Structure 1
Amino acid sequence: MRQQLVQLLYGVSISSDLDSGNVELAERLILNAVLDGLEIGRAGIWLLNEENTAIECRLLLDRENGKEIQMLVLPRDAYPDYFKALDTQRTITAVNAHTDPATYEFSESYLTPLNIGAMLDAPIRYKGKMIGIFCCEHIGGEREWTEDECSFIGALADLYGRALSAQENERINAELERANLHLEHRVVERTRTLEKTLNELTEMQEKLIESEKMASLGNLVAGIAHEVNTPIGIAVTANSSAKDKLTELDKLISANTLTKHALLEGMNHLNECIKISFTNLERAAKLISDFKQTAVDQSSLNLLETQIKAYLENIVHSLVPLTRSHNVTVNIDCADDLTLITVPGALSQIILNLVNNSCVHGFIGKEHNVIDISVHLDDEKGIYTLCYKDNGCGMTDEVMHKVFEPFFTTKRGTGGSGLGMSIVYNLATQALQGEINLASQPNQGVSVTLKLPINIA
C-alpha cells in the first residue's frame, strides 16, 4: 500500500474522534481521509435501513461543490441490480459507472448530472453483518481502481465499525449507569424493608417470649428464623448476584469486549434479580404479618422420663371430641413398658397436629376413618421409629412437596394457620433431633415416619 495511504490510515486509527462515541465526528474524519487518499471529489457513508428495503445517506462530502449532503434515500425496488450487487457483500469497482452492471442504473438520474465517471463502493460490516457502504465517486471520466485503493477503503470501513462499537459502548455505559442507579435505589429500598422486617421479627420474638398468654408458642418462636430466613436469604443472594453481574459487565466494557448479546443477557439477569428480590422480601413481610395473627398452642419442651404408650394414650384421649366428631378410630401399637427420656411436649404437639390435619383435611366426607400410631425400638441403631398412618384422602405430589412449608395450607380462609405441619417438622428435627419422612398418594391416606434418637443430646 502506498505510503500516503498508510499514513492516512494511521492518522485515523489513532484519532480520539474514532473512539469518542460521537459517530458523527468519526464519519467526517474517515470521509476526509477517503477524499484525501483517493484524490476524489465526492465520498459518502450509506447505511441499509432495518427492513433492508433502502439505503440511506448518513453523510456525503462534496468537495467539488463545497457541500455536505444527508438524508438521501435510494430504494431497493428502484435500483434492483445495484442492490443485488450489494447483497453479495463484495466491493464494487466500477471503472465506468455508466456501463458497469452494478451502477448503470444511476447513469441518467445521478451520474450524468454530477459528472461522475467511476465509483468504488466498499461494504461496511459490523458484528459480522453488512450494514452499508463507503461510496467513493470520481468526477470526470473512467478510472481504474488499484488494489491499494480497494484495501485502503476496506481498512477505513473496518475503522468505521470501531467507531460504531464506541458509540454502542457509550450508549451501553449510559444505560448501565441508569440501571445501576435504579438497582442501587431498589437495593436500598429492599434493604430498608429487610431491616424493618428483621426488627419486627426481633420485637415479635421478644414479645412472644415475655408474654404469658403466648407462652404456648415458645417453640414456634425458635422456628420463625427458619421460616423467614428462606425468602430473606433468596433476596440477599439475588442482590449479590445482581452486583456480580454489574461487575462483570463493567469489566467487559473496560476491555471493549461487550457484545449486544452479553448486554441483553446482563439486563435480563438484573431484571430477574430485582424481581426475585422484590418477590421474596414481600413474602418475608407477609410471613411476619401472618405470624402476628397466628396462635398455635404448644407444650413445654423439657426433657422428661416418659412412658411412651401411656403418654400417647393420654394424648389420644384428650382428642376424643375431635376424633368422635369425624368418626375416627385411633389404634396405638407400642410396648407397654417402653420408657424413654425424651421431650414429651414435642411428641404431644406432633400427634396433636397430625390428628388435627387428618380430621380437617383427610377425613372430610369419609366414614370408617382409622389412624394407626406405632412405636418400635431399634437398640442397634440407637433410634426408635414412630409411624403415624391414616386412611384419608391422601395428598397429591404438589401438596406433599409443600406440606412442610410455613403457612402453606389447602384451607386458606377457613381457619387453617398453615403452621401445623411446619411445626411438626421443626419439632421432629430440632427438639427431638430426628428426621421425618412423608409418603402419600391420592385416596391412599398419609404415612408420616419419624426416626428419633433414643438418647437426645
Structure 2
Amino acid sequence: MRQQLVQLLYGVSISSDLDSGNVELAERLILNAVLDGLEIGRAGIWLLNAENTAIECRLLLDRENNQEIQTLVLPRDAYPAYFKALDTQRTITAEDAHTDPATFEFSESYLKPLNIGAMLDAPIRYKGKMIGIFCCEHIGGARHWSEDECSFIGALADLYGRALSAQENERTNAKLERANQLLEQRVAERTRTLEVTLSELTTMQEKLIESEKMASLGNLVAGIAHEVNTPIGIAVTANSSAKDKLNTLNKLIESNTLTKTALLEGMNHLNECFKISFANLERAAKLISDFKQTAVDQSSLNLLETNIKDYLENIIHSLMPLTRSHNIEVDIQCNDDLKLITVPGALSQIFLNLVNNSCVHGFVGRDQNKITISVTVDKQSDTYSICYLDNGHGMSEDVMHKVFEPFFTTKRGNGGSGLGMSIVYNLATQALQGEVSIDSKPNNGVTVTFKLPQKLA
C-alpha cells in the first residue's frame, strides 16, 4: 500500500474520535480519509435497514458541490442486480459504473445526473454480519481501482466497525449505570426492610430462649404450632443469595462484561429472593406472635461454691412428682465432699430439662425406668465430668445429630417446643464454659456427657 494511504489509515486508527462513542465524529473522520486517500469527489456510508429491504444513506460527503446528504434510500426491489452483488461479492469495483453488472441500474437515475463514472463499494461488517457499505464515487469517466485502494477502503470499513463497538459500549454502559443505580436503590430499600424484620425476629427469639432458660419445660410452652427456625433460615439464605447476586452484577459491570441476558437473569433472581424472604419472614413473625409461654421457676445464674452431690439431690427431689409418675429410679454417683465454683442455676436448668426430656421422649410406655447421674474429677486437667444416662427408648442417628438445634423436636403438636436440648447446650458451653456431647441408639437409652472446668472465672 502506498505511503499516503498508510499514513491516512494510521491517523484514523489513533484518533480519539474513533473510540469516543460518538459515531458521527468517527464517520466524518473516516469519510474525509476516503476522499483524501482516493482523491474522489463523493464518499458515503450506507446502512442496511432492519428488514434488509433497502439501503439508507447514513452520511454522504460531496466535495464537488460542498454538500452533506443523509436522506437517500435505495430499495432492494428497485436495484436487484446491485443488491445481489452486495450479498455475494466482497467488494464492488465498478471501473465503468454505467456498464458494470453490479451498478448499471444506477446509470440513468443516479450516475449520469451526478457525472459519476466509477464506483468502489466496500462492505461494512459488524459482529460477523454485513450491515452496510462504504460507497466511493469517482466524478468523471471510468477509473481503475488499484489493489492498494481496495485494501485501503476495506481497512477503513473495519475501523468503522470499531467506532460502532465504541458507540454500543457507551450506550450499554449508560443503560447499565442507570439500571444499576435503580437496582442498588431497590436492593438497599428491601435489604433495610429485611434487616429490620430480621433484627426484630432475632430479638424476639432471644427473649423466647431466655424465658425458656428460666422456666421448667413442663410449664414453659403452652404450645407451638410450627417450627420458627425454618422460615427464618430460608429468609436469611434468600437474603444472602440476593447480596451475592448483586455483588456478581457489580463485578460484571466493573469489568464491562455484563450482558443484557445476565442483567435480566440477575434482576429475576433478586425479585425471587425478595418474594421468598418476605413470605417466610411474615410466616415466622406470625408464629412467634402466637407463641405462648408461662414462666414458673426463676433460677439464679450467679457464680457460687457448690456441693455438687447435695445440689443434684435437691434438683431430683424437686422433680419427685415427675419421676414418681413415670416410675423412675434415679441414682446419683458423686463424691459427698465435692465442692466446685460453678453456676448452680445453670446446672438446675440443665437437669430439669434432661429429666423432663427423658419423661417426654424416653420413658413413654416403659416400666423400670432408670436415670444415672455420675460425676468424676480429672485433677490433671482441672476439669470434672457429669454423665447423664437413661435407659429409655433412645434415638436414631439422624435425631441425635439434630437434638441440640433450636426448635427441633419429635413431639411437635404434643407440647414439645424443641428448645429444651438447645438450652442445655447453650448453658453448658456458655454459662458453664464447658463441652457437651450426646450418644444414643434406638432402644438403648441416651447418654449426655458434660466436661466442665472446676473453677469458673
In structure 2, the residue matched to 1:171 is: 175
In structure 1, the residue matched to 2:187 is: 183
> Do 1:124 and 1:134's aligned partners in 2 also have CA atoms closer than 8 Å?
no
> Do 2:92 and 2:120's aligned partners in 1 also have CA atoms closer than 8 Å?
yes
Q: Is the aligned partner of 1:394 residue 2:395?
A: yes
> Do 1:62 and 1:68's aligned partners in 2 also have CA atoms closer than 8 Å?
no
- Displacement of 1:405 in angstroms is 3.5
- Displacement of 1:382 in angstroms is 0.7
* Correspondences of 1:58-97 after superposition (within 5 Å): 60-61=57-58, 63=60, 67-69=71-73, 92-95=90-93
User: Mind listing any 5+ residue stretches in structure 2 that lack a counterpart?
Assistant: 63-68, 78-82, 108-117, 221-231
Partner amino acid, structure 2, of 1:120: A
In structure 1, the residue matched to 2:257 is: 259
Q: Which secondary structure state, in structure 1, belongs to the residue aligned with residue 123 of structure 2?
A: strand
* Aligned equivalents of 1:186, 1:451: Cα separation in 2: 45
In structure 1, the residue matched to 2:372 is: 372
* Correspondences of 1:334-373 after superposition (within 5 Å): 334-364=334-364, 369-373=369-373
Q: Which secondary structure state, in structure 2, belongs to the residue aligned with residue 150 of structure 1?
A: helix
* Correspondences of 1:34-113 after superposition (within 5 Å): 36=35, 42-45=44-47, 60-61=57-58, 63=60, 67-69=71-73, 92-95=90-93, 113=105
Distance 1:156 1:82, change over 3 A: closer
- Displacement of 1:377 in angstroms is 0.9
User: Mind listing any 5+ residue stretches in structure 1 that lack a counterpart?
Assistant: 74-78, 87-91, 98-106, 221-228
- Displacement of 1:168 in angstroms is 1.1
- Displacement of 1:178 in angstroms is 0.8
- Displacement of 1:401 in angstroms is 4.5
- Displacement of 1:169 in angstroms is 0.7
- Displacement of 1:451 in angstroms is 0.7
Distance 1:95 1:384, change over 3 A: same
> Do 1:232 and 1:284's aligned partners in 2 also have CA atoms closer than 8 Å?
no
> Do 1:118 and 1:142's aligned partners in 2 also have CA atoms closer than 8 Å?
no
Partner amino acid, structure 1, of 2:339: T
* Aligned equivalents of 1:266, 1:136: Cα separation in 2: 36
> Do 1:94 and 1:118's aligned partners in 2 also have CA atoms closer than 8 Å?
yes
Partner amino acid, structure 1, of 2:168: L
* Structure showing greater Rg: 2
Distance 1:361 1:167, change over 3 A: farther
Deviations 1:80-129 (A, max 9, x none): 9988x89xxxxx345479xxxxxxxxx98x8654469654224324xxxx
Structure with bigger RCO (C-alpha 8 Å, 6+ apart): 2
> Do 1:305 and 1:339's aligned partners in 2 also have CA atoms closer than 8 Å?
yes
Partner amino acid, structure 2, of 1:121: P
* Correspondences of 1:276-425 after superposition (within 5 Å): 279=277, 286=284, 290=288, 293-295=292-294, 297-326=297-326, 328-364=328-364, 369-390=369-390, 391-397=392-398, 399-425=399-425
* Aligned equivalents of 1:71, 1:309: Cα separation in 2: 104
In structure 2, the residue matched to 1:14 is: 17
- Displacement of 1:42 in angstroms is 5.0
Aligned-residue identity in percent: 33
Q: Is the aligned partner of 1:121 residue 2:118?
A: no
- Displacement of 1:386 in angstroms is 0.9
* Aligned equivalents of 2:203, 2:46: Cα separation in 1: 66
Alignment TM-score, normalising by the size of structure 2: 0.65
> Do 1:383 and 1:451's aligned partners in 2 also have CA atoms closer than 8 Å?
yes
* Aligned equivalents of 1:72, 1:374: Cα separation in 2: 98
In structure 2, the residue matched to 1:225 is: none
Partner amino acid, structure 2, of 1:156: Y
Deviations 1:186-228 (A, max 9, x none): 24434554676688799x79xx99xxxx9759xx9xxxxxxxx
> Do 1:26 and 1:160's aligned partners in 2 also have CA atoms closer than 8 Å?
no
- Displacement of 1:407 in angstroms is 3.2
> Do 2:18 and 2:162's aligned partners in 1 also have CA atoms closer than 8 Å?
no
Distance 1:274 1:426, change over 3 A: farther
In structure 1, the residue matched to 2:456 is: 456
What do you get for the CA RMSD once the two structures are aligned? 5.3
